[in-house]
Amino acid sequence: MKRYESIIIGHISMDNNIDHLGNSEFVCGGAVLYSSASAHSLGHSVAAVTRLAEKDSERLFNFTIPKDDVYAVMCENSTTMKNVYLTADKERRNSSCLSVGTPFENSDIPDNISADIYHFAGLVHGDFPNDMIIECSKKGKIALDVQTCLRRVNADTGEMYFEDWECKKEMLPFVDFLKTDAAEAEIMTGTADRAEAAKILYNWGAKEVLITHNTQAVAYDGKKIYSCPLRARNLSGRTGRGDTAFAAYINERLTKSVEQSLLYACAAVSLKMETPGPLKAERADIERYIREIYHDFL
């Protein structure tokens, strides 16, 4: 049995990104790609479980973790996305899903691996059945990026839109680490106050809540609201911000306090945002960034 600190489960997608000037590029994306890179950069042992069509197997070369730690399940459909960014900072975009990946099943996680954390890093509603989350909660902690519960795909047009998670109060008690962005938190709770939203989500059952925003990240453990700013010196690598922060936070939480983990997460994502693509760094690079950019937090 091979033991990991976290197993990250999600589709690796091919994204057609079109910037506000009309420039188009095709790049591999997906929460599983950015999250695994983040945890690996901090020195954590992490596995990625992904599904894709055999014709798209070349996507697997985009993982930064060792190839022996990537567990790929061949299926009928891979995920393909299109993002049209409306502003230079990439904070506003219109997204569509050109191909929805075949949903995951319990059997996709090999029997010969286990983890402290099972990280559900989906892209759209339906990527995971609820019973998969419940089963994994019997084996370790559950980390859930709520994007996969709220983001829907119009079956006719492929346009993506958000709806509240219909079974949130039933499922949140199974979640040890919940991640939302500010907009998702408002959809779920009805409040734009991130600290208040975190408290509501905690009261519904999530044991720790991380809410990301373009200026800061907020964490709540039922006792205290913690916040830490993002301090990227440029935003050329904006894509994957929340995925990078969440994976860094939950893996650091295995041995560190909420406050320390949040600092490492914000430093990791700030460094990542300065370069396009998944985070490619070592722990020493992130700790140097903390000393230079977050010295007032030490």
What does the pLDDT look like over 34-59, one tens digit per residue? 999 999 999 999 999 999 999 999 99
Tokens in use for 226? 């913690």
Question: What's the CA gap between 170 and 173, in Å, rounded?
Answer: 7
pLDDT at 99: 96
| Mean pLDDT for the stretch of residues 149-175 | 96
57-72 per-position pLDDT tens digit: 999 999 999 999 999 9
CA distance 88 to 91: 8
Please determine, for residue 93, whether its predicted confidence score (pLDDT) is greater than 90.
no
The CATH code for residues 2-297 is 3.40.1190.20
pLDDT of 223 reads: 97
The number of CA neighbours under 13 Å toward the Cβ of 83 is: 19
d(CA 83, CA 219): 28
Q: What is the model's pLDDT at position 8?
A: 98
State the Cα–Cα distance between residues 169 and 34, nearest whole angstrom. Answer: 28
pLDDT for 89 beyond 80: no
- By the 10 Å C-beta count (0-12 exposed, 13-18 middle, 19+ buried), 24 is classed as exposed
Q: What is the mean pLDDT of the chain?
A: 96
| Model pLDDT, residue 142 | 98
Query: How far are the Cα atoms of 29, 131, 236, 292, 296 from residue 179, in angstroms, in the given order?
Result: 18, 19, 23, 27, 26
Residue 88: its pLDDT value, please? Answer: 81
pLDDT of 19 higher than 90: no
Which of these, 120, 134, 107, lies nearest to 35 by C-alpha position? 120
Quote the pLDDT of residue 245. 97
Pairing of strands 70-75, 2-9: unpaired
pLDDT digit string, tens, across residues 191-227: 999 999 999 999 999 999 999 999 999 999 999 999 9
pLDDT at 90 over 80: no
Query: Which two structure tokens, joined as six digits, stand for 54?
Result: 């055999």
Q: From start to end of the chain, where are the E strands?
A: 2-9, 13-18, 24-29, 46-53, 70-75, 79-85, 93-99, 113-120, 141-145, 151-153, 160-162, 177-181, 208-212, 216-220, 225-229
Mean pLDDT of 262-272: 98
What is the domain partition of the chain in residue ranges?
A: 2-297
**Alpha-carbon gap, residue 246 to 38, rounded angstroms:** 9
